[in-house]
Chain A
Amino acid sequence: MIDSASGIAPAAVVPPQSSTAQPARPATPARKGLSPSARRQRRAAWLFLAPACLMVAVYVLYPILTSISLSFYNWDGMSDKTFVGLANYVELMHAPTFYTALKNNLIWLLLFLLSPPAGLAIALYLNQEVGGIRLVKSLFFAPFVLSGVVVGLIFSWFYDPTFGLLAMMLGHGIPVLGDPHYVTFGIVFAALWPQTAYCMILYLTGLTSINAEQIEAARMEGAKGWNLLWYLVLPQLRPTTFMAIVVTIIGALRSFDLISVMSGGGPFESSTVLAYYMYDQAIKYYRLGYSAAIAVVLFAIMLVYIAWHLRRMLRNEH
């Protein structure tokens, strides 16, 4: 895959023919008698890993555990923590905002899944050899490299009811970001812009690696258009589709920047999602224990997904 996408081709590196027969990987040493070289290699393995492990342990693993334990406490960040058991979770179950956030997360997820098909459509449209197509493809991809803050600012302005582009196109202004019914949809629409660009580039790369002979053969048989796409091209693109869906789901659950910039979770917390709700509770109201409980819920939702993904990946390894 990578070979076709760029000049990066590890396989092209010609290995010097090693004359030694049987270059087996360091065999698992028998019992005590580690050979000196095996021992040296084992030490090297851990030394190479140590700095990365240390950083990940301090900044990723330890915080996860701390957050989980913190969710059973009441804490404002300054005075002493008090243990409250499951009280934070109970309160969460009774907080209307929690359900708003959950519902919005679901809306994000469902609407975000439009980006793989949209990306595929654009990729099919651009998968031609005409002059300047490379530049066109890159420009189509450009929104993806913009920061969420910039995309958020661009679209806040696009939606502005007095002088925004949308108001101009419709002839009258709709306060998209000020209306609890529209605000989430408005933000998701903005977020779809870079996400579709991302899926498009995945599909464009995927399309370069499909089997051209099969397609030609099917064409000889008279297959074309939708049939060809549905029965021949899409099955070959399955790994790409899987990937596009993976990154889209993660993207949807991570949504924070756009909400923060465009609406601040408002109006009346109607556009909040778990990620933003959690941040708000911690930073604005200093309710760190409660906020940690929200984070744990988000983590639990994600965990199902991480576990599924890891299993699939490790199975492919063996």
Chain B
Amino acid sequence: MFPMPVEHWKPLNRRIYKLSLPIALLIWLLPMIAVMVTSIRSTEELTEGNYWGWPKHFALWANYHEALTTSPMLHYFFNSVMITVPAVAGAIALAAMAGFSLAVYNFRGNTALFATFVAGNFVPIQILMIPVRDLSLHMGLFNTLPALILFHIAFQTGFCTLFLRNFIKQLPYELVEAARIEGAGEWTVFFRIVLPLIRPALAALSILVFTFVWNDYFWALCLTQGDEAAPLTVGVAALKGQWTTAWNLVSAGSILAALPSVLMFFAMQRHFVAGLTFGATKG
């Protein structure tokens, strides 16, 4: 263990360490806590200038109700869900097949294809912007949810393929061999043998990709116009311009935007961290 475990410290230092933890946490999360407190502060209090004290009356219901009803927040939220869920499912489905193929079959061009998928990950997204926007316009998809869904599927497939290919490569190859000897076709090998074994990796990857797509702002800006297909990130950013002084509403909106990915993270933390570090170390 490094550093020296606290059990071996002097009792006083140990006590100090334990005391310091909540304080450090408070400082680290201060901006976030401030936003949460503001989101339940009433407008009167804000106009009085009570920004940082503890709220005297809580306006939890009123603020969130207002943020949800006076702006198309729910609509944005719905858009975000309708973009993120299919995009994650699509990217993972494509990547599982591609990753399987790259890991199990030995064919000419395997490495080159793999390298292409990896490189695709690191490409600065700006170089894709104008052509993708153009493509969406030509397909009649501009300012619709499918435009964003299709793009996210394509872009996330690269990362997911890298991840799953490495994961499948770690499985014992004898499994595939054995199944083939039993007479299983290639699809059966993939669907019945490999897919069940990579379920944990799929879970890790889904959460990771979920947060990537949910938090996307750039593509939402490029491929939508107005409220129709705009996801939550665009909606919340627009709130800032609309009500410069209504920080309680902006805060409520931000909390709504942050909530799904934060909840997702806390619910599936182990998978999330595993995915992140696995993808990272192998990437």
| Cβ-closest chain A residue relative to B201 | A8
Which of A51-97 touch B at CB < 8 Å?
51-53, 55-56, 58-64, 66-67, 70, 77
Interface-central residue, B122, B197, B265, by most chain A CB under 10 Å: B122
Confirm or deny: B261 has a beta carbon within 8 angstroms of a beta carbon on chain A.
Answer: yes
Specify which chain A residues have a CB less than 8 angstroms from the CB of B123 in the assembled complex. Answer: 60, 64, 299, 302, 306
Task: Count chain A residues whose beta carbon lies closer than 8 angstroms to a beta carbon of B.
Answer: 122
- Distance of A147 Cα from B101 Cα, bound (Å): 33
Specify which chain A residues have a CB less than 8 angstroms from the CB of B126 in the assembled complex. Answer: 256, 274-275, 278-279, 294-295, 298-299
Confirm or deny: A157 has a beta carbon within 8 angstroms of a beta carbon on chain B.
Answer: yes
B158 and A282 contacting across the interface, CB-CB below 8 Å: no
Shortest distance from the beta carbon of A121 to any chain B beta carbon, whole Å = 11
B266 and A147 contacting across the interface, CB-CB below 8 Å: no
Confirm or deny: B61 has a beta carbon within 8 angstroms of a beta carbon on chain A.
Answer: no
Chain B 171-207 per-residue mask, 1 if CB under 8 angstroms from chain A, else 0: 1111101101100011100100000010011001000
A49 and B215 contacting across the interface, CB-CB below 8 Å: no
| Majority-rule SS of B interface residues | helix
- Distance of A25 Cα from B49 Cα, bound (Å): 71
| Cβ-closest chain A residue relative to B215 | A147
- Distance of A163 Cα from B100 Cα, bound (Å): 55
Specify which chain A residues have a CB less than 8 angstroms from the CB of B38 in the assembled complex. Answer: 157
Size class of B's contact patch? Answer: 35 or more
| Cβ-closest chain B residue relative to A193 | B31
Given A15-B172, A207-B2, A298 contacting B127 (CB threshold 8 A): yes
Specify which chain A residues have a CB less than 8 angstroms from the CB of B3 in the assembled complex. Answer: 124, 127-128
Which of A205-259 touch B at CB < 8 Å?
205, 207, 210, 212, 215, 224, 228-229, 232-233, 239-240, 243, 246-247, 250, 253-254, 256-257
Confirm or deny: A183 has a beta carbon within 8 angstroms of a beta carbon on chain B.
Answer: no
Cβ-neighbour of A278 out of B95, B105, B129 (below 8 A): B129
Shortest distance from the beta carbon of B222 to any chain A beta carbon, whole Å = 8
Confirm or deny: B89 has a beta carbon within 8 angstroms of a beta carbon on chain A.
Answer: no
Given A8-B274, A49-B97, A250-B122, A136 contacting B257 (CB threshold 8 A): no
Given A63-B132, A299-B123, A48 contacting B101 (CB threshold 8 A): yes
Confirm or deny: A181 has a beta carbon within 8 angstroms of a beta carbon on chain B.
Answer: no
Give chain A's interface residues, CB within 8 Å of chain B: 1-2, 5-8, 10-11, 13, 15-18, 20, 23, 25-26, 28, 37, 40-42, 44-46, 48-49, 51-53, 55-56, 58-64, 66-67, 70, 77, 124-125, 127-130, 132-133, 136, 138-143, 145-150, 152-158, 163, 165, 168, 193, 198, 201-202, 205, 207, 210, 212, 215, 224, 228-229, 232-233, 239-240, 243, 246-247, 250, 253-254, 256-257, 260-261, 274-275, 278-279, 282-283, 288, 291-292, 294-296, 298-299, 302, 305-306, 309-310, 313-314, 317
Q: List 22 A-B contacts (CB under 8 A).
A: A1-B281, A8-B201, A13-B171, A25-B106, A51-B94, A52-B97, A52-B157, A63-B127, A67-B127, A127-B2, A130-B18, A147-B215, A153-B237, A201-B273, A215-B2, A246-B283, A257-B218, A260-B221, A278-B129, A302-B124, A306-B123, A310-B118
Q: Which 8 A-B pairs have the closest CB atoms?
A: A147-B215, A59-B154, A63-B131, A6-B274, A44-B186, A52-B98, A45-B105, A48-B101
